[in-house]
Amino acid sequence: MNMSTGERVPWPTKNFISKKSDVLATMNGFSLIRIPAELELPGLSIELIQRLELELIATQNVSIELKSNTNKTTIKPWLKEELLSQLSNSSINPSSGITNHR
């Protein structure tokens, strides 16, 4: 998937890799983190994406590679901590949709 500068898309439901670090992750319209380049991140459930209003925003033209979810990647500890931190600072109630399986 190619994204143009300023383009917004919902967080993918499939695992994905950004080819460059020109993508921001947002929740409820607020920037959370810059997505690191070449790091496979997990796709999330549509319910969780919608409830948290998770989006990706391209800061430059960038390519996002969507992966098959046959080998389900669990949420990275640093991403989990960031999401939980943001949730604790908002009126949204964390749910079991954010888990860290080993």
* Contact criterion met (CB below 8 Å) for 62 and 11: no
- Please say if the pLDDT value at position 94 is more than 70: no
87 vs 55 pLDDT, higher one: 55
What's the confidence (pLDDT) of residue 58? 96
Q: How many helices and strands (H and E) does the chain possess?
A: 2, 7
Helices marked H in the chain — which ranges?
46-52, 77-88
pLDDT per position as a tens digit, 3-41 = 999 999 999 999 999 999 999 999 988 888 899 999 888
